[in-house]
Amino acid sequence: MQTIKFTENKSERLDKFLTHKAGQYSRTQWQRAVKKGFVLVNDKTVTVHHKLNIGDEISILQEPQNKEFNLPKMDIEIVYECADYVVVNKPSGITVHPDTNYHDNTLIQQLLKKYPEIQNIDPASDRPGIVQRLDKNVSGLMVVARHKKMFDFLKQQLSEHKVYKEYTALVHGNFHNNHGKIEANIERSKKSGKMLVKRTEQTGKKSITEYFVTKQYNYFTLLKIIIKTGRTHQIRTIMRSLDHPIVGDPIYNKKNVKAKIDISRPFLHASGLKFINLENKIVEYNQKLPSSLQSILDSMKSKNDTGKIIIISGTTASGKTTVVQKFLEQTKLPFVKIVTSTTRKKRKGETDGIDYNFLTKKEFEKQIKEKKFLEWAQVHNNYYGTPLSSVQEELNKGNNVILIIDVQGALAVKEKLPEAILIFIKLENFEQIKERIIKRHNGIPKDLDTRLQSAKKELEVANLYNYQIINHENKIDNTVAELNDAINREIL
């Protein structure tokens, strides 16, 4: 146990005193030690805010447990420097100041080596000069004061919402409105530790967030976001509350988001900063996206581009229609299923215009002559065809279309449109095909052998498809997941 006598004439907060007098630990670490009862004042437990007076005796029963991790050394880009402040471009992967997890190589520690005078702003602080923070894996512009006068001036501007802070973010989903302003309260959940969005009349701290749509992509939107306040995780939690979480955010995400991007950090970058300097002039700084984020945008497909054709095919009774329907029910992506036209009789539970466009043989043959089908074929004495106008209309809108068609028609479309993506759905074994055909017809149909021979021929061309997916018995969710992964690889 270590005992220290407080001999200063001026009272001081316990946590600040411990930080610069009792060992090489951060202020946050000492606060945790005090809260756990490891630090006593005059043999009594106290709060971290306790003010020490001359003669007080501080007993340290146990020093903070050093569970810190070392951050990799990163070069900090100085965007601008003057006698009053520095503006830096913080890279992703570095914390702003020491905390209980990270102590070495933080942003402020590296700045102190170059600008040691910053420590004079508050000798007891482990974050001197810091008036704003960015999360560890968020990059972009930050201003750090170099002396007390500038520090206080910046803090005042922040409290009066006079500091302009602009962010660039890529979020899931598309927006109907190109602009929005959200005023909501934010507070930390006592259960999960995450920040929660509350209505303004509820508990929490007020936040103001404004967004502007910069560009719409397929399934994603690039936003310019301006925040008037600086609450913890403000942008991340607000975007999640709008059902548009930040791409790559491991905390404020949504489980039902289907479109994925290979990214190891939140797509959030502080791209603009504007404030008033001590000469009473407005100064402005801007920073482009890091190359790792820009390369993601460069590879993405604009929403206004022509869509893609996804062809789902397979053997008879493979369950392809059921799999696609399940996929469409679960996905949040804007796919359009093209309704096939057919001359076969409507089955129980089917709806004209939704399941199929049911036509007479005479009407179908008329449309063949008028070249109204992208493809058509005669299968088991019935005609099947894909309406050309429906496909063209959706593609021109920038939508991706899904066609559920037979093998013969699928290969015909691929020949006309080589860019089409072919996905073949099949069962685990040939015996299952037979069982499903019998079950579908409530008995053995007269043309069973013909259907089975057709299935064998269809399986022989499966290797011509881009993907083959097995529809496992009683595991349709697994099949849908495989279909989703294949489609995402091609669309994104």
| Residues annotated as catalytic (active site), given as ranges | 135
Q: Is the dihedral of CA 482, 484, 490, 492 positive or negative?
A: negative
Among residues 302, 264, 272, 267, which one has the least CA distance to residue 288?
272
Q: Please enumerate in sequence order all residues whose Cβ is within 8 A of that of 239, keeping only pairs 6 or more positions apart, or say none.
A: 169, 171, 245, 246, 252
CB 98 within 8 A of CB 26: yes
Q: Please enumerate in sequence order all residues whose Cβ is within 8 A of that of 315, keeping only pairs 6 or more positions apart, or say none.
A: 407, 426, 427, 433, 455, 458, 459
Q: Please enumerate in sequence order all residues whose Cβ is within 8 A of that of 331, keeping only pairs 6 or more positions apart, or say none.
A: 258, 484
Helix (H) or strand (E) holding 280: none
Q: Please enumerate in sequence order all residues whose Cβ is within 8 A of that of 273, keeping only pairs 6 or more positions apart, or say none.
A: 87, 141, 142, 143, 163, 164, 165, 166, 284, 285, 286
Bridge partners of 106?
A: none
Q: Compute the half-sphere exposure of residue 126: CA atoms within 13 Å on the CB side of its CA.
A: 25
Q: What is the dihedral of CA 200, 204, 205, 206, to 10 degrees?
A: -10
The one-character DSSP state at 82 is -
DSSP conformation letters of 131-197: -----TT-EEEEEEESSHHHHHHHHHHHHTT-SEEEEEEEEES--SSSEEEEEEEEEE-TTT--EEE
CB 172 within 8 A of CB 254: yes
3-state secondary structure of 298: helix
CB 211 within 8 A of CB 223: yes
Bridge partners of 206?
A: 185
Taking CA atoms, 217 is separated from 178, 296, 300, 398, 409, in Å, by 13, 12, 7, 10, 31
The one-character DSSP state at 95 is -
Q: Is the dihedral of CA 367, 371, 374, 379 positive or negative?
A: positive
Give residue for tokens 């008879």: 316
CB 61 within 8 A of CB 39: yes
Taking CA atoms, 285 is separated from 4, 233, 291, in Å, by 47, 22, 19
List phi, psi (to 5°) of 413: -65, -40
